[in-house]
Amino acid sequence: MDLKSLLLQKKSPIVKKWCDVVLSTYPKESQKFLRKQKDQFANPVGRTIFEGIESIFDELLHEANADKIALFLDDIIRVRAVQEFSPSQAVGFIFGLKKVIREELESEILKEGVTEELAAFDSKIDALALLCFDIYTQCRQKIFDIRVNEVKNQSARLLKMADLVYELPEDYEHPGKGGDLKEGQVNNK
């Protein structure tokens, strides 16, 4: 039997345990809620994790469509970036899949002699982790950009409220731009 068949055979416990790996990164009370609450509107984070993990696993088994995997990862990583997980905490769950597979297929790996296939599958998981890190970095950059713009807008509003801002008319031309002075302007140096 090949590795893909073994993984398909044990898909349900592997996906469940991999979800547990993700959930274990949350505080105890949050873990309870994320596991028990099945309503997607009451628990969008839990739903995103469960659906994303299963979809990612399916894509890995079926020759991994990189665009689809990136979408599923983006959903999970975006939440973790907003929750301010460190980079290692945000993407570390990917490596948990390796451990879960070995736990679930321990005897079959040796018995069926699929160690080379497992090494190739491990490489896919490693590539997934790199993709996760890229997604996490993009998400954190977006959050940073939003915060910077928010501070700029807030500062501008405060200056206006304090009447410390003078808005220039639309037809204003900065004297330093364009070089020469216009007719009637005097240069007082």
Q: What is the pLDDT of residue 109?
A: 86
Q: What is the pLDDT of residue 117?
A: 93
Q: What is the pLDDT of residue 189?
A: 46
The residue whose two tokens read 């790199």 is 130
Residue 163, C-beta contacts closer than 8 angstroms, at least 6 positions apart = none
Q: Measured between alpha carbons, how far is residue 7 from residues 12, 123, 137 in Å?
A: 9, 16, 31
Q: What is the pLDDT of residue 84?
A: 80
What is the rounded end-to-end Cα distance, in angstroms, of the chain?
89
Sketch the domain layout of the chain as residue ranges.
Answer: 3-140
- pLDDT band at residue 9 under the 50/70/90 scheme: very high
Question: Among candidates 92, 108, 116, which has minimal Cα distance to 8?
Answer: 108
Question: Among candidates 51, 139, 128, 121, which has minimal Cα distance to 92?
Answer: 128
Q: What is the pLDDT of residue 177?
A: 58
- Provide the mean pLDDT of the chain: 87
80/87 Cα distance (integer angstroms): 9
The answer to whether 98 and 122 have CB atoms below 8 angstroms apart is yes
Q: What is the pLDDT of residue 183?
A: 53
49/61 Cα distance (integer angstroms): 18
Question: Among candidates 91, 95, 169, which has minimal Cα distance to 131?
Answer: 91
* pTM given for the model: 0.75
Tens of pLDDT, residue by residue over 50-109, are 999 999 999 999 876 788 899 999 999 999 999 888 999 999 999 999 999 999 998 898
Tens of pLDDT, residue by residue over 140-185, are 999 989 989 899 888 888 888 887 777 777 887 877 655 555 555 5
The answer to whether 57 and 14 have CB atoms below 8 angstroms apart is yes
Mean pLDDT value of segment 122-136: 94
Q: What is the pLDDT of residue 176?
A: 66
The answer to whether 155 and 94 have CB atoms below 8 angstroms apart is no
